[in-house]
Structure 1
């Protein structure tokens, strides 16, 4: 009888121990939760980093906006006609593109390369650099005027393809202006690059004008 009681007690002790062991082992399922939260955190950080705008771009845009904003605020107090504020910039730039770019840079530039008329070539050599330089200056001033026009209409800057093509075109024009310095040393190759790059830049500004018209109609 005692032996039976001892066996029963041993079984009860074993069952209690197994229950305690299972109770201790059961929280092992919870241990995996921190790894899940770490994965979620890493995923969210990856998405944040991949979608973030580079800080230097934001800083440059903000610096330019702060520089132009006071002038834009002043001109807003003058109660200028809405049509002038809205279409003044594209109208002026179109004149510069056609007169200084199309005639002065493109026509006169290719006249120097292709014409056999010595008088026409001499005239083109005199007018071409002056009108091309004027185009660059007025385009640079026009870029400031265009951004000011957007600010006067309470619109953001640097958020349209029109602005990007304009800045790209100005950068290429700066490169184009340095090429004549290599004419004497590089000869025909430098002149070829100057001619074809200049033609391509004007093509880019035609696209730029089309994007500007699209932007103006969307405001």
Structure 2
């Protein structure tokens, strides 16, 4: 028997006779697909300091250069340890001797000739430290790209960027020396020592990163 269903009236009509029957409807719950939460994960929990566009821009600038150096078939130890080796020389020669040692000689030495020499060499070596650290930061990022590693994942990169920023502030403090007060000189000396401590921590994190790759 073919049946026609009238949902509105609840009547079932068959051929040859009519039957009135109550129709019980069983609601079948619809399964809803849970909304997928999409997150943009950007290599590091510290990324709020950088927008996605900024990080991508840095990557896009460095990637072609990293690809070029990859075609040169450089020895793997050079790619892996070249950056930390060069930066260690800059840290201890220009930073340790030029920035820290000569800087404190200016403040503590009573020998006029020593102070004069330190005043001549200290700003030059400190500026060289900032310059080569800036180049080294780009070189280190390219090294990570060549090794297929993200560039903003390790705390090593964040301590390096923080150190560069503080070096920029440090370079402005001597402009306040002409005020005649000793506060700017004192701030310059102790901030410089703090920056050196930060870069030593940065070097330890870099060694840890190099051994983990």
TM-score normalized by the length of structure 2:
0.79
Higher helix share: 1
| Secondary structure, aligned partner of 2:149 | coil
Equivalenced residue count is: 186
Q: Deviations over 1:143-194 (max 9, x none)?
A: 0000000011111101100000000000000000000000111520000000
- Corresponding residue for residue 71 of structure 1: 65
Which ranges in structure 2 are unaligned for 5 or more consecutive residues? Answer: 1-21
Establish whether residue 169 from structure 1 lines up as the match of residue 163 from structure 2. Answer: yes
Trace 1:141-180 onto structure 2 (pairs within 5 A): 141-180=135-174
Q: Deviations over 1:98-157 (max 9, x none)?
A: 000000000000000000000000000000000000000000000000000001111110
Supply the distance in 2 between the matched residues of 1:54 and 1:206 (Cα, whole angstroms).
25
- Corresponding residue for residue 122 of structure 1: 116
- Corresponding residue for residue 199 of structure 2: 205
Supply the distance in 1 between the matched residues of 2:180 and 2:210 (Cα, whole angstroms).
43
Supply the distance in 1 between the matched residues of 2:107 and 2:99 (Cα, whole angstroms).
12
- Corresponding residue for residue 109 of structure 1: 103
Establish whether residue 95 from structure 1 lines up as the match of residue 89 from structure 2. Answer: yes
Supply the distance in 2 between the matched residues of 1:56 and 1:214 (Cα, whole angstroms).
24
Cα drift, residue 59 of structure 1: 1.6
Higher strand share: 2
TM-score normalized by the length of structure 1:
0.77
Which ranges in structure 1 are unaligned for 5 or more consecutive residues? Answer: 1-19
Supply the distance in 2 between the matched residues of 1:168 and 1:54 (Cα, whole angstroms).
14
| Secondary structure, aligned partner of 1:215 | helix
Given the alignment, which residue of 177, 187, 199 partners 2:181?
187
CA RMSD of aligned residues (A): 2.7
> Larger RCO: Structure 1 or Structure 2 (Cα < 8 Å, ≥ 6 residues apart)?
1
- Corresponding residue for residue 51 of structure 2: 57
| Secondary structure, aligned partner of 1:157 | coil
Supply the distance in 2 between the matched residues of 1:218 and 1:105 (Cα, whole angstroms).
31
Supply the distance in 1 between the matched residues of 2:114 and 2:58 (Cα, whole angstroms).
43
